[in-house]
Structure formats: structure tokens, C-alpha cells
């Protein structure tokens, strides 16, 4: 499974989201290739992704995708991330 975390620049917020997603996946006993990228690279990076993690302001810019787009409001809230990933993967 491939999960892509995106933000505007592909460095700060998406990096935090990537690390926290990996923590949550470990809690859930699941394995995935989690990458962090910027919005401009989503067409390439997200082409074969099953899940895209992002904040509300980037949803419209992602455009059409076959991946499930999961909006995360607080990148530091592992409970929110776990709840949403579990629902998407369950």
C-alpha cells in the first residue's frame, strides 16, 4: 500500500504527517510505503497511491484521483489520524 502526505512545499507539514502516519500504521499493525511530497508533485507521487493525507486547504488543488483523500485537521493529533486511517483501511 502507498500513502502520500502532501503540503504546499513538501517539507515541513508533510514530513510531520508522514512520521505520524507511520506511527499510527505501526499501532494498527499495518505496513505501507509512506512518502511526503509537495502539492506540485502529487500527480507523479500520488499516481499509484491508495491514500493521500492532506490538510483542508489542499483538497481542491489535488484534483481528480483514484486515491482516498483523507483530510487531517491537526497533524499532531495521533488519535485523529488513527481514527481516519483505520476507517479508510478497515
CATH number at residue 47: 3.40.50.2300
Q: Is 66 a member of any domain?
A: yes
- Give the rounded distance of the alpha carbon of 80 from its chain centre: 12
What residue numbers bound the domain in which 41 lies? Answer: 2-78
**Which pLDDT belongs to residue 46?**
77
Does any domain span residue 31?
Answer: yes
Residue-wise burial string across 15-54, b where 16 or more C-beta atoms lie within 10 A, e elsewhere? eebbebbbebbeeeeeebebbbbebeebeebbeebbbbbb
Asked if residue 56 belongs to a domain, the reply is: yes
> Full-prediction pTM beyond 0.85?
yes
Residue 87 lies in a domain: no
Q: Which pLDDT score is estimated for 11?
A: 60
The count of domains in the chain is 1
Domain assignment of residue 34, yes or no: yes
Query: Which three-class secondary structure state does DSSP give residue 29?
Result: coil
Average pLDDT over residues 22-31: 94
For residue 15, is it within any domain?
yes
Amino acid at each position: 500500500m502507498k500513502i502520500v502526505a502532501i503540503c504546499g512545499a513538501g517539507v515541513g507539514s508533510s514530513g510531520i504527517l508522514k512520521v505520524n502516519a507511520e506511527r499510527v500504521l505501526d499501532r494498527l499493525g499495518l505496513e505501507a510505503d509512506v512518502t511526503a511530497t509537495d502539492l506540485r508533485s502529487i500527480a507523479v507521487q500520488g499516481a499509484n497511491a491508495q491514500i493521500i493525507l492532506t490538510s483542508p486547504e489542499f483538497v481542491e488543488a489535488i484534483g481528480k484521483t483514484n486515491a482516498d483523500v483523507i483530510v487531517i485537521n491537526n497533524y499532531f493529533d495521533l488519535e485523529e489520524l488513527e481514527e481516519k486511517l483505520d476507517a479508510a483501511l478497515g
